[in-house]
């Protein structure tokens, strides 16, 4: 497998730097442009000049031969590549990895009973819990109704890239896909040895060319808050805003809660969806997701 597609690759730093360099043109960095370029983005020597390091040193960074870059160098490279805060944090994580552990067995992520009961009390807002590799570990009734069109509500990446229902459900599929991959890339920077994450990346890399292309971009963005545009087969279009909350008792897990603006058409549609999901003849499977 291509090392840039494998979260546990030894040269995660090089893959990240090459991808971000390719996305930044000379005009973005305030450099003069002249003639045609054989490859997109900045050249290595241009990044080195902007960062105030030698071209040879920067090449060693990309090749994985420089294992202990200083904080000052990383800050200078981040500035040269115009990285935002999340990308800078990711740069520092992949440039200064912790001691690698031996490959560990897959550990099934579980949701605590108190958190499950809390989800069930939120009857007017779709809410679910994501694991480190974006597995849907639990969901309340309204979230189950919201995602009812999918064959399986098991993992956001698999749902987005492998289930045909996603193209109709996400009104802006490209944005949804980019967001999912950027969140997974962030998780890979934090825990590159997670067996489940490695499994998901491997599966999606084999089965989806669109995933491979987005994964190779090394975009990094955690889930925090954002507006999502959906189309539900029973209640029509919805614009929902979500908030993401980390679970302190279970590192890597997040609670995702969707809300509609009060009085909006989406609020009416969400209320209708809630009434439909509460009807015994229309319930769609279990209350919570897979263990």
Q: How much is the pLDDT for 230?
A: 96
- Number of alpha carbons in the 13 Å side-chain half-sphere of residue 82: 14
Tens digit of each residue's pLDDT (9 = 90 or more) over 220-273: 887 667 789 999 999 999 999 999 999 988 888 999 999 999 999 999 999 999
Tens digit of each residue's pLDDT (9 = 90 or more) over 12-46: 888 889 988 888 887 776 776 666 667 778 888 88
Give the residue-averaged pLDDT of 89-109. 71
Which CATH number, 3.30.450.180, 3.40.50.1820, 3.40.630.40, 3.30.530.20, labels domain 113-282? Answer: 3.30.450.180
**Domain ranges (residues) in the chain:** 3-95, 113-282
According to CATH, the superfamily of the domain at 3-95 is lambda repressor-like DNA-binding domains (1.10.260.40)
Whether 3-95 and 113-282 share one fold: the answer is: no
Tens digit of each residue's pLDDT (9 = 90 or more) over 52-94: 999 999 999 988 888 788 889 999 999 999 998 888 988 888 8
Give the residue ranges of DSSP H helices in the chain.
12-22, 44-51, 55-63, 71-80, 85-95, 113-121, 141-146, 156-162, 165-169, 173-190, 195-207, 209-216, 265-278
151 pLDDT more than 90: yes
Percent of the chain with pLDDT over 90: 49
Q: How much is the pLDDT for 13?
A: 87
Distance of CA 166 to the CA centre of its chain: 16
Q: How much is the pLDDT for 283?
A: 36
């Amino acid at each position: 497998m291509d090392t840039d597609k494998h979260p546990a690759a030894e040269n995660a730093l090089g893959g990240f730097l090459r991808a971000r360099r390719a996305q930044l043109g000379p005009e973005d960095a305030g450099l003069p442009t002249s003639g045609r370029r054989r490859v997109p983005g900045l050249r290595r020597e241009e990044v080195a000049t902007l960062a105030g390091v030698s071209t040879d040193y920067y090449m060693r960074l990309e090749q994985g031969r420089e294992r202990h870059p200083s904080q000052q160098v990383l800050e200078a490279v981040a500035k040269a590549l115009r990285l935002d805060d999340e990308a800078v944090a990711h740069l520092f994580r992949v440039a200064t990895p912790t001691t690698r552990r031996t490959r560990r067995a897959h550990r099934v992520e579980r949701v605590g009973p108190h958190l499950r009961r809390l989800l069930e009390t939120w009857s007017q807002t779709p809410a679910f819990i994501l694991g480190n590799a974006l597995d849907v570990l639990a969901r309340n009734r309204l979230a189950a109704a919201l995602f009812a069109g999918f064959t399986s509500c098991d993992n956001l990446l698999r749902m987005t890239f492998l289930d045909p229902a996603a193209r109709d459900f996400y009104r802006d599929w490209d944005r949804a896909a980019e967001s999912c991959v950027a969140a997974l890339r962030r998780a890979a920077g934090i825990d590159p040895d997670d067996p489940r994450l490695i499994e998901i990346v491997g599966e999606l890399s084999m089965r989806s060319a669109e995933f491979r292309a987005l994964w190779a971009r090394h975009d990094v963005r955690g889930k925090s808050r954002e507006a999502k545009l959906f189309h539900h087969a029973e209640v029509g279009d919805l614009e929902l805003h979500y908030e993401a909350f980390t679970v302190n008792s279970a590192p890597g897990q997040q609670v995702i809660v969707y809300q509609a603006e009060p009085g909006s058409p989406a609020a009416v549609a969400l209320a209708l969806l809630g009434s439909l999901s509460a009807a015994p003849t229309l319930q769609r499977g279990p209350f919570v997701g897979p263990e």
